[in-house]
Chain A
Amino acid sequence: MATKEEIINGFVKAIVDGDEAAAAKWANEAVAAKLDAYELVTKYGGDAMSVVNQKYEKKEYFVPEVLCSANALNAAVEVLTPHMKADKTTVPAKVVLGVVEGDIHDIGKNLVKIMLSAAGFNVIDLGKDVPLAKFLETAKDNKAEVVGMSALMSTTMPAMKKVIDMFAQAGVRNKVKIIVGGGPVTEEWALSIGADARPHDASAAVGVTKDLVAKLKQDPSSAW
């Protein structure tokens, strides 16, 4: 039987390589060897995706490679989930994500979801072509810390400003940090409409979101 180290290395490599079959195989080996399934997914799965993340940032990996790695991680999680004893002591921050109304290009949003989920955030995915009021409603109902909006078409970008204005009008703008992204969205424009940040890509979204959540927690009035 494989050692713990071999299993972990194999597991991480399978995810980085985007090899679904190998990821499932190593997950089964881990179950047979009675390794901690929760740790394997959150720690080593997270480690593997951050390697993927770095490769994406260095332009060694592109969207197809990231999608393959996410599929490999999902295949492993499917095997491991029945064996996971969740760690209930830390409550992950909630992020509401969606592509704004009028826009159906969700590949960028899905990448951000993959990266944030792998980094331990609880992502509430509203999907694409999301009615604008839905962002506020969902953030309120779930007491979310972060709202993320994406638009790939320049034609749908103005919708982001409308959503931010809705939070302000409802008097809850200080309860959440708002990040925006998508091909045509520049940082200058993002800040001008009142967003808190415009991470330059899916991998940058992780660090930016962590920083924003830390900042939010320092403000006692931000509690829902």
Chain B
Amino acid sequence: MAEMTPRKRALLCVTGNKRRADRISCMDTLTTATVDQMNAVNAPFPEANRDPQLAFKLAAAAWEVIGLEGFKLPFDLCVEAEAFGCKINWGRIDRHPSVETHAFNDLKDLKIPENITETGRFPLKHRVEEMLRKEYGDYLPIINQVTGPFTIAGHIFGIEKFCIWTKKRPQEEVKEALMQISEMNIDDCKKALQSGADVICIADPSATSDILSPQFFRDVMIPVYQNMAKKIGAPVVLHICGNTSAYLPYIADTGFDAFSIDAQVDPAFAKAIVGDKIAIVGGVPTITALLFGTPQKVREAAIDAIKKGVDVLMPSCGIPPRTPTANFKALVEVARCMVYV
């Protein structure tokens, strides 16, 4: 039998075939970078977001320093907004870049340049993916993250304005704008797959049920996601922050391979709702366990998540930069010694 590598294991687990793997995967499809890693490999924020050599070192640190079984790029959610012309606040070592200004005043002003994924930091991301594939061969998976269409809409139009349009504008126009944005995401993913990426993570934190109604999610977001699932052509993980319990029945029908749940969603509940239609990944709370907890608390949370059926063991959301290495490593230790229960 061929050797089981972290890449093969990750691809099995993320597509819902964990029982064909030797144990659970602990690739992290969300933000992996912490201040400890930045210091260890000498690749700090904000420079590591813009310099390919530093980005390579910091992405590799997920494996080299923590032992996470995969690489993920980029470290922030601003690549798309930046390419649209939004002003970016680059942050500092323990602060992610954030979007400062919007690009369009109105829905009908939306114009996506045809070559947008060849501008801004898109090429940097794809280049670093190539570098990782060259350096590590086929041993570890590479995750290409895209910012989800709803979150991008919030960045380029302003989230409150866009929220109001979901009520005041014809739903078809809102959906069409999101569809156009999703085509840009798809184009980005195609380039990433050519550059060596194996897995796509769509991070759409703003599309949370703390903001949107389940009806809007079902009628508008699901068709947009289905369009992405149909065209991307690689395993896709969707991440939405917050309590997404009410969305789960719809998320099961997106056609995506996995859904990443935040700490507010119980993994066992999520599994019970979605069945085997979509894998459930995540399970280790970023705040109570990873940031403010102890290695013991992380181990307990990780074991609990595996018992509740998660398919990939990973943090419930993007890792806070000040997370202690000992806590982050405790997650990896559990994955490495746990068989399924």
Check B212 against A104 for contact (C-beta < 8 Å): no
Taking the complex as formed, is B160 at the interface, i.e. its CB lies under 8 A from any CB of chain A? yes
Name the B residues within 8 Å of A184 (CB-CB).
263, 286-287, 317
User: What 10 A-B pairs come out closest when comparing CB atoms?
Assistant: A64-B163, A155-B320, A62-B213, A63-B211, A64-B167, A154-B287, A64-B166, A104-B98, A102-B95, A154-B286
Residue of A nearest to B100 (CB): A104
Q: Mark B83-119, 1 if CB is under 8 A from A, else 0.
A: 0000001010011101110000000000000000000
Given contacts A67-B163, A107-B160, contact A154 B320 (CB under 8 A): yes
A153-B203 Cα distance, complex, nearest whole Å? 14
A156-B91 Cα distance, complex, nearest whole Å? 12
A28-B287 Cα distance, complex, nearest whole Å? 50
In the complex, besides A63-B210, A189-B292, 12 extra interface pairs with C-beta distance below 8 angstroms are A59-B246, A62-B212, A64-B166, A65-B213, A68-B168, A104-B99, A154-B317, A154-B318, A183-B242, A183-B264, A184-B287, A189-B288
Taking the complex as formed, is A174 at the interface, i.e. its CB lies under 8 A from any CB of chain B? no
Residue of A nearest to B317 (CB): A154
Check B322 against A64 for contact (C-beta < 8 Å): no
A153-B77 Cα distance, complex, nearest whole Å? 13
The residue that B321 contacts in the complex, of A59, A107, A155, with Cβ under 8 A, is A155
Name the A residues within 8 Å of B177 (CB-CB).
none
Check B167 against A68 for contact (C-beta < 8 Å): yes
A153-B320 Cα distance, complex, nearest whole Å? 8
Q: Mark B312-339, 1 if CB is under 8 A from A, else 0.
A: 0000011011100000000000000000
Check A62 against B211 for contact (C-beta < 8 Å): yes
Name the A residues within 8 Å of B211 (CB-CB).
62-64, 107
A142-B286 Cα distance, complex, nearest whole Å? 36
Tell me the A residues contacting B by CB distance below 8 Å: 18, 59, 62-65, 67-68, 71, 102, 104, 107-108, 110, 129, 153-158, 183-184, 186, 188-189
Taking the complex as formed, is B274 at the interface, i.e. its CB lies under 8 A from any CB of chain A? no
Name the B residues within 8 Å of A59 (CB-CB).
213, 246
- Chain A interface, DSSP helix/strand/loop, else mixed: helix
A157-B94 Cα distance, complex, nearest whole Å? 12
A152, chain B: closest CB distance, angstroms: 8
Check B242 against A67 for contact (C-beta < 8 Å): no
B48, chain A: closest CB distance, angstroms: 16
A102-B95 Cα distance, complex, nearest whole Å? 7
Name the B residues within 8 Å of A62 (CB-CB).
209, 211-213, 216
Name the A residues within 8 Å of B317 (CB-CB).
154, 184
Name the A residues within 8 Å of B286 (CB-CB).
154, 184
Check A65 against B167 for contact (C-beta < 8 Å): yes
Taking the complex as formed, is B159 at the interface, i.e. its CB lies under 8 A from any CB of chain A? yes
Name the A residues within 8 Å of B94 (CB-CB).
155
Taking the complex as formed, is B241 at the interface, i.e. its CB lies under 8 A from any CB of chain A? yes
Check A154 against B99 for contact (C-beta < 8 Å): no
A129-B95 Cα distance, complex, nearest whole Å? 12
- B300-321 CB contacts (< 8 Å) to partner A: 317-318, 320-321
Q: Mark B274-314, 1 if CB is under 8 A from A, else 0.
A: 00000000000011100110000000000000000000000
A158-B322 Cα distance, complex, nearest whole Å? 10
Taking the complex as formed, is B2 at the interface, i.e. its CB lies under 8 A from any CB of chain A? no
A184-B96 Cα distance, complex, nearest whole Å? 17
A107-B287 Cα distance, complex, nearest whole Å? 21
Name the A residues within 8 Å of B164 (CB-CB).
64, 67-68, 71
A193, chain B: closest CB distance, angstroms: 10
B69, chain A: closest CB distance, angstroms: 23
Check B292 against A18 for contact (C-beta < 8 Å): no
A189-B242 Cα distance, complex, nearest whole Å? 17
Name the A residues within 8 Å of B287 (CB-CB).
154, 157, 184, 186, 189
Among A156, A183, A188, the one with the most B-chain Cβ atoms within 10 Å of its Cβ is A183
- B183-226 CB contacts (< 8 Å) to partner A: 208-213, 216
Residue of A nearest to B320 (CB): A155
A71-B95 Cα distance, complex, nearest whole Å? 33
A60-B263 Cα distance, complex, nearest whole Å? 24
Name the B residues within 8 Å of A155 (CB-CB).
94-96, 318, 320-322
A184, chain B: closest CB distance, angstroms: 5
Could you list 27 examples of A-B contacts with CB < 8 Å? A59-B213, A62-B211, A62-B216, A63-B163, A63-B210, A64-B166, A64-B216, A65-B213, A67-B164, A68-B168, A71-B164, A104-B89, A104-B98, A107-B159, A153-B96, A154-B287, A154-B291, A154-B318, A155-B94, A155-B96, A157-B287, A158-B322, A183-B241, A183-B264, A184-B317, A186-B287, A189-B292
